[in-house]
Structure 1
Amino acid sequence: MKAILVSQHGGPEVLEWGDHQVGEPGTGEVRIRHEAVGLNFIDVYFRSGLYPAPNGLPLVPGNEGAGVVTSVGEGVTLLKTGDRVAYAGPIGAYAQQRLIAAEKLVKVPDGIELDVAASMMLKGMTAEYLLRRTYDVKPGDTILYHAAAGGVGLIVGQWAKALGATVIGTVGSPEKAELAAANGYDHVINYRTEDFVERVREITGGKGVDVVYDSVGKDTFPGSLDCLKPRGLWASFGQSSGPIEPFNIGILAQKGSLFATRPTLFTYIASRPELEASASALFDVVSRGIVKIEINQRYPLAEAARAHTDLEARNTTGTTVLLP
């Protein structure tokens, strides 16, 4: 079968479409045939070497996918052949087929298509832990989310609005502003033409927001801190513009006794009960129409390099899938 292989770290050009062997599932494993694979910025980090590959090179990237179980290893009781499943986490998704631990998979409910599941697991469960566990968003809260037109951003906008929050987002173009406004954002700031710190202060009457969700990194720091009310929380969960330079923790005191955290999805779904709870919450809001998942880009898996180029150029919106 075919897969995308990374033999050396670098730009999108290192993503090569080639033959890849998949054996029979071992104890606790299943083999799945991918129907679709999700595209996420974390894939860029593994490709470039910013994040170390768990098992070194060569690497099959990708942390999100959905498909059908084709073979079951010894000791597996959670799943059977023919089950529709999805996952976020174990690297190796950019492949037509793969082996994966059964405990990392969740069954996809009837009514949710597999391409939709593949596009939303990592992004949707990220939105879940950010909104429900990193900071428990409540009616009356005001939140700021950077990159509001991205895959996580569009889910956060809809979900946070349903939770009763006032939702502020930043984007980089008028087109993305329209998209964010159509997905739950009460106020959308174009950071290319406006000072987002000043606008947040205007919108909140000088009070600031309860929480800033920041996956941008270098370009939004320390401005994100200046958007917070005293004792507010800065959740830095990505660095699409580059890593944040080391800083003196005393800045948190100077700007209002602020809290800061650097969460990752994989910590929040590390146990089976946490994974099931997060996926269940996501499937619930999607099944009830509270959150609508729009796949805005589709690429053949063989053209993953083109997808990475577009992603890094910020030419994509919402969710993107790669089709084996």
Structure 2
Amino acid sequence: MSFACLPISRVMLSSPGDASQLRLSHAELPPPAAGEIRVRHTAIGVNYVDIYHRDGLYPLPVWPSPLGVEAAGWVEALGPGVSHLHIGQRVAYAGPPVGSYSSARNLPAWLALPLPDAVADAAAASLLLRGITAHMLFTRVYRLQAGDTLLVHAAAGGLGLVLTQWAKTLGARVIGTVSSAAKAALARRYGLDHAVLRHEGNFADAVLTLTDGQGVDYAIDGIGGDTLAATLGVVRPYGMVASVGQVAGDPGPLPLSLLGPARSVALARPGVFRYLSDPARYQEGGLATLAQLAGGLTLPVDSEFALADAAQAHRRLQSGQSAGAILLRPDSQP
């Protein structure tokens, strides 16, 4: 079946820079090629990786470039050879190629995960990438088990809340660092066992006190900067630290002496995009996330913005004041 080109709206980035570089533009979307589908977006997730793409920390392959790695919507057209999906079907996807900041787009059909009736578009758009990240962190980087103690930095952020809920389903005890009493209360509502306020002193001392000086089994750090080195000191011998972001900046070179032999700590730098590049892993993580959603995994929506206001969404995320998901809502017409 053939389809005409479709006028769409999309957010484009002409070169690396701050949020003011984001521009809404219009384009003609060609029919989906063989093995592709066209998805009409209803909800678009805003993630910190979008900021890393925007400012050039994670380079994009071409300029100017679209932005965005996560969305939900419905199948509007099928390319040749696609038979496992149907027009009108609700789907979500996460990962490269970038381009989810758009009213509609073409993408490889294998990326589209059919959504159960019980999973809303907004939930899928805000949780899929974070859920697959949690699956990677808890099954491939370190197999979290009942009785383990987990430390999550920025526990009231989007990823932090997902990690906390997922870890609790596995029977783990979760300690989280937060920036305010309000965020501590929010994180506790989503299952956090112990909240450590970062502005009230050395978080490392608090974590060691909570673990009777033994340290946690596993720590997940999305803050970076000086936080990563400090985190290495609160993990038990032969425990694991996963560095998954650097909101506070690049931690710089770390001497091996921070890992051991006295501490005997392992450090991982896992990339979820590398994880998603394998279709089998992507399906496994995506289906596990949808199962968690069906079981009650949820995320508060901090704010929603029109597609044309993507720059405001980025500023909100970078402000450090958001708690939960930030979504873009495309108009029904470009």
Q: Which one-letter code corresponds to 2:100 in the other structure?
A: A
* Equivalent residue, structure 2, for 1:7: 14
Shift of 1:277: 1.4
Matched, 1:316 2:290: no
Matched, 1:34 2:41: yes
Q: Which one-letter code corresponds to 1:315 in the other structure?
A: Q
Is the CA contact (8 Å cut-off) linking 1:225 and 1:255 kept in structure 2? no
Q: Report the TM-score when normalising by structure 1.
A: 0.97
Q: Which one-letter code corresponds to 1:140 in the other structure?
A: G
Choose which of 155, 169, 177 in structure 2 pairs with 1:162: 169
* Equivalent residue, structure 2, for 1:125: 132
Shift of 1:255: 4.8
Query: Could you say what secondary structure the match of 2:200 adopts?
Result: coil
Is the CA contact (8 Å cut-off) linking 1:69 and 1:83 kept in structure 2? yes
The CA distance in 2 between the partners of 1:25 and 1:107, in whole Å, is 18
* Equivalent residue, structure 2, for 1:116: 123
Matched, 1:238 2:257: no
Q: How many residues align?
A: 322
The CA distance in 1 between the partners of 2:84 and 2:248, in whole Å, is 40
- After TM superposition, the structure 1 = structure 2 runs for residues 116-155 of structure 1, keeping only pairs within 5 Å, are 116-155=123-162
- After TM superposition, the structure 1 = structure 2 runs for residues 193-272 of structure 1, keeping only pairs within 5 Å, are 193-272=200-279
* Equivalent residue, structure 2, for 1:280: 287
* Partner deviation per Cα, 1:11-59 (whole Å, 9 max, x = no partner): 10001111122111111111110001001000001111111112x1111
* Equivalent residue, structure 2, for 1:76: 82
* Equivalent residue, structure 2, for 1:173: 180
Instruction: Using the TM superposition, name which of 129-138 and 91-100 deviates more.
Output: 129-138
The CA distance in 1 between the partners of 2:175 and 2:195, in whole Å, is 6
Shift of 1:78: 2.6
The CA distance in 2 between the partners of 1:268 and 1:47, in whole Å, is 21
* Equivalent residue, structure 2, for 1:57: 63
Which ranges of structure 1 fall in alignment gaps of 5 or more residues?
none
* Equivalent residue, structure 2, for 1:292: 298
Distance 1:219 1:175, change over 3 A: farther
Is the CA contact (8 Å cut-off) linking 1:286 and 1:293 kept in structure 2? no
Choose which of 100, 107, 116 in structure 1 pairs with 2:114: 107
* Partner deviation per Cα, 1:194-240 (whole Å, 9 max, x = no partner): 21100000000000001110111114121010110011101001111
Q: Report the TM-score when normalising by structure 2.
A: 0.94
Which ranges of structure 2 fall in alignment gaps of 5 or more residues?
1-7
Q: Which one-letter code corresponds to 2:77 in the other structure?
A: S
Is the CA contact (8 Å cut-off) linking 2:154 and 2:223 kept in structure 1? yes
Instruction: Using the TM superposition, name which of 188-197 and 246-255 deviates more.
Output: 246-255
Q: Which one-letter code corresponds to 1:79 in the other structure?
A: L
Q: Which one-letter code corresponds to 2:21 in the other structure?
A: V
Matched, 1:184 2:202: no
* Partner deviation per Cα, 1:126-157 (whole Å, 9 max, x = no partner): 11211232111111100100010111111111
Q: Which one-letter code corresponds to 1:308 in the other structure?
A: H
* Partner deviation per Cα, 1:290-318 (whole Å, 9 max, x = no partner): x2232221111110101111111112111
RMSD: 1.2
The CA distance in 2 between the partners of 1:32 and 1:26, in whole Å, is 13
Query: Could you say what secondary structure the match of 2:41 adopts?
Result: strand
